[in-house]
Amino acid sequence: MSLQRNQDMSHQPLYLQIKEALKKQILDGDYAPFERMPSESQLMKSFDVSRITVRQSLRDLHAEGLIFTSQGKGTFASKPKAMQDVQHLEGLSEAMTPKGYETSARLLSIREVKPSKDVQENLNINGKEGAIEVVRVRYLNREPISVDTSYFPIAVGQKLFARDLSGDIFPLLENELRVPLGRADVSLEARSADSDTAKLLDINVGSPIMWVQRLTHDSSGKPVDYEYLAFRGDAYKYRFQIERDPSRNSGFNEVIK
């Protein structure tokens, strides 16, 4: 979002003018994805401003996802984010392998837990029943992309202890445990990474993450898998298509639920 782009910006703070100038160059393709941006000193020189001003501009560009920094190597125009199409319910490997990505998972823990209220409500179990919790870090091209915390009812989850959990769990449920999957309820929100998540994803505490809650049902509608997925905001994009409700197109203005 740029309110000032193409407007006379001379009344704006310097750092904003510089940010907008660089942003325009990135959006216009003058800097291609992965291309190195000028150094702080070069920018200070070309814009004739202080380091603090240059840093403020870069911080904003960084916040907008237009540049990224590689430790010791400099600042680069953004790499394109990995996009997952979510028209159908798919695991990370199912979705990304056909696009040429290498995916894997590192298992951090699998154990029986006393489920939180949220997990109880979603899996439709009570607090005494317990649930199986699986915590994994998922990797895309060997970079950590998400921390997945999944909860299963005991009957299903117990069978996961002896399984290979380095890939998607969905096909494992379907093909090995013979649990046919149906509908999933998904919610997405933007959050800041807490210390645990930041460490596992190799990002700074407070960096933006996409927080996904996904409740997957079996084909009969029974909940079988409730997950919290914390995706690195700088590396991942969800994409889907939606249709306008056809009944709206006939000139009706009422809201149909």
Taking CB under 8 A as the criterion, which residues in 21-80 touch a copy of itself? Answer: 24, 27-29, 60, 62-65
189-196: long-range contacts, CB 8 A cutoff, minimum separation 24: 190/233, 191/230, 193/230, 196/147
Minimum gap (Å) between residue 170 Cβ and a copy of itself: 8
Q: 112 pairs with which residues across the strands?
A: 132
**3-state DSSP call for residue 97?**
helix
Q: Does 126 bind a copy of itself (CB under 8 A)?
A: no
Q: Does 1 bind a copy of itself (CB under 8 A)?
A: yes
Among 134, 197, 223, 225, binds a copy of itself (CB under 8 A): 197
Residue (24 or 79) nearer to a copy of itself, CB: 24
Report 80-109 residues binding a copy of itself (CB under 8 A): 81, 83, 86-90, 94, 97-98, 108-109
Sign of CA dihedral 171, 175, 177, 180: positive
What six digits make up the tokens of 84? 């997952």
Of the candidates 65, 88, 97, 250, the one whose C-alpha atom is nearest the C-alpha of residue 168 is: 97
Residue (41 or 252) nearer to a copy of itself, CB: 252
Residue (135 or 165) nearer to a copy of itself, CB: 135
- Span of 40-48, 69-77, 156-164, 208-216 interacting with a copy of itself by CB under 8 A: 208-216
Among 51, 113, 124, 155, binds a copy of itself (CB under 8 A): 113
Q: Does 206 bind a copy of itself (CB under 8 A)?
A: yes
Minimum gap (Å) between residue 251 Cβ and a copy of itself: 6
Among 139, 151, 211, 226, binds a copy of itself (CB under 8 A): 211
Among 2, 39, 41, 42, binds a copy of itself (CB under 8 A): 2
Q: Does 183 bind a copy of itself (CB under 8 A)?
A: yes
Q: How far apart are CA 49 and CA 12, in angstroms?
A: 14
Tracing tokens 């298509």 back to the chain, one arrives at 241
Among 70, 182, 202, 222, binds a copy of itself (CB under 8 A): 182
Report 151-180 residues binding a copy of itself (CB under 8 A): 170-171, 174-175, 180
Q: How far apart are CA 170 and CA 128, in angstroms?
A: 26
Of the candidates 12, 215, 191, the one whose C-alpha atom is nearest the C-alpha of residue 124 is: 215
- Rounded to 5 degrees, φ, ψ at 111 are -165, 160
- Binding-site size for a copy of itself (CB under 8 A) equals 87
Q: How far apart are CA 71 and CA 57, in angstroms?
A: 19
Tracing tokens 């915590």 back to the chain, one arrives at 135
Q: How far apart are CA 240 and CA 208, in angstroms?
A: 21
Minimum gap (Å) between residue 147 Cβ and a copy of itself: 6
